Structure 1
């Protein structure tokens, strides 16, 4: 069914009275300054779907369960210990149930593609399932059921710290060697091959979990496509890296791993100005997860310096403690306001703050996930309609500012590959998926 919208944000800017025709999951044509035809589906505002470049689906089950202070200094590392214990509550069907409900929430908030940084691979005893990609297949099934586009990033995790130290017992569900990872990667490519628009990349977890030689071997397994890695999230990580190699993590990755435009550094919180600028110049995408970074007390990313050096960024929901396009982008801008004690810090090129950070996140997130999100002829039909919570006559950039900062707009409908997955703000299969999620959560909580 053709779609007619009063306002559409295209790569060339806002266009009015636009008629969109879709065929084969792609935008066949886009005609502005026209009139609707009988039978057209009508909407007020259309914007591109947002890529979610970093998710750990299983951690959605922990949301709200890690806010009790631990003994001593409660920080990222104490949170990580709780997370490790929580992983042993999952059966394969629980992974699928939690991921499906999470993807429903993502779609309802305006995300149309997820980069699943998937590192829960094995059974509770650390042994591989008969299908080495069993848990990855559960992620793919959740993507299929909900309709969200998938970039699957199977994680290589072999060590507990720099220097190839043996993994800790709590990490046993994550661990692979290079041979088993090669089988996992091949199996992952097979299981998503039938999903429309799917992409498979590689993800060395971090320089703590993968040695330099292992990272080079991984790159030979995947000479093209996305490469994601956690980098410089915590001060301790910087200190350990310097103690081991004499270099900071981002410095090492740029110099020794040849990180370039197909790489995404997740978090990249603690960098020098020189590293920040070098990362931007090399084309590495910054994978920012502002809500999780605030929840874990990570610190502040040098966003202004990075953008001014030509850097590209996208947003992710990481630990999935809260799901929302507007929440992530608002937290990103507000973190910079707190850091610099100023307003509209990330606005560039004369655009409003909402327009500036929204478009940058769409473009950078798409690059990081091996995809493109844009309302233009030939592009995948992945877009979002907004409904006016308060009809104040907002137009153009004020629409995005209201969506991100004023709550004057809300997600109404979401299409992925031309199929409407969210209607009236609610996923079309939410009820059954939510029921299954609740049952899985009750079973898991009884095992903890």
Structure 2
């Protein structure tokens, strides 16, 4: 149980730092309690949160109990770790609503995939009960200002005299440390996992838990996920890639992973999927030797879309992709046309059914002459069928209202009557 899990994490490149890897291996010989925290900064998680959630499932699959902590209290403060500027403070109502939304999302996402239910907690349940004087006396006295100032995440802010760091944000580490000690006291939690930007906070929690509870606890961090060129990962052309289908549709989610660069795709397969390291190596070898298109992007897109949106979401995403890029537009369901609108596909209201006028109104051509030339060249398709020079009308609409107009391979406009 112990070495198999840690060795798999090491093989996948999922361990950035650990307080004592050998001690953690020995600890995991028997079932343990592991936790990861998520502060509410929006009403949905995004793909950056998927890796720690999947990591928790890896721990449960290895026989351990998992806890998800939502920061109903710490979310009111905001973690300053490696942030260039001070966070804006959100209202209590806003944070509380976000906590409820994230709780529902996490449970809906994770429970069908777990052998046993996870434990979901909100740190507002205990931090809201702490008296400020008691907190400073019983918690603050265990923290050295010197050590806190030496943390890289704090030092970076202090080196920006135009920004600095407020006492509010400076105190965040104490609150997260208190969480670890409280989870250790309540549930016997002995291991905290999180992103590598949480290393300083995790070390603070380990030290405080030892001082307060007399317990030896440990920490393990995941690498911060970046693209191969070093740029931040997790955004598409239209913005953040959310796990909420109402913010990022299953189709847009699927396409995001399908467009993963070759330089990143095998690393992401290690991070985001349960495919074994050996299988990923075989897939990489196959793609390298094959004359056809690589399979890795399709595997990654299918695995993750299925994990987040289920079989129905995956089937819908693939159907839309096939409709757009293989001309099978008549296979689209009405809700999938709505997905395309959600994803920002240009939508134009048109007057009349004349094809040439529609091409101009859609913006795919700048003039009627240019529209006729495009049609003559076979560059215009209506609802997946190439328009002919003899065609005067758009033809029958989809669901009595829509026409999907296409120029070339990648330019689409949805026309609505």
Indicate whether the TM-score tops 0.5: no
Larger radius of gyration: 2
TM-score, normalised relative to structure 2? 0.31
TM-score, normalised relative to structure 1? 0.29
Q: Which has the higher strand share?
A: 1
Q: Which has the higher helix share?
A: 2
